[in-house]
Amino acid sequence: MDQVKEQLQKNTAILDPYAAMIPALVDASAKAGVNPGLLLGAIGSVGLLILLVIQGWTILVTCITVLYPAVHSIRAI
């Protein structure tokens, strides 16, 4: 378990400067014993998952109706 925690902290270290701007996040990370970037990454991941569940159909339809014709237009040129 410690190896997983260390690997997650190493991979999310790039988010530390952004998470350090949020005092509540810094306090929560100190209590949890992890770097603030890990908490910021977790919050972002959960937010994206919620967005995907709620707006998933809209995102899929937009991709099909915009990206698919765009790719074929580029291929035609």
Domain of 35 in residue numbering reads as 2-76
Residue 47 is predicted with a pLDDT of 92
Q: Report if pTM > 0.85.
A: no
Round to whole Å and give the CA distance between 16 and 52: 25
The number of folded domains in the chain is 1
Task: Tell me the per-residue pLDDT of 11-60, one tens digit each, with 9 for 90 and over.
Answer: 888 888 998 899 998 999 899 888 899 899 999 999 989 988 888 888 88
Q: Quick one: tokens of 34? A: 């992890």
From the list 4, 1, 21, the residue with the least C-alpha distance to 12 is: 4
If one counts every other C-beta atom within 10 angstroms of the C-beta of residue 21, the result is: 10
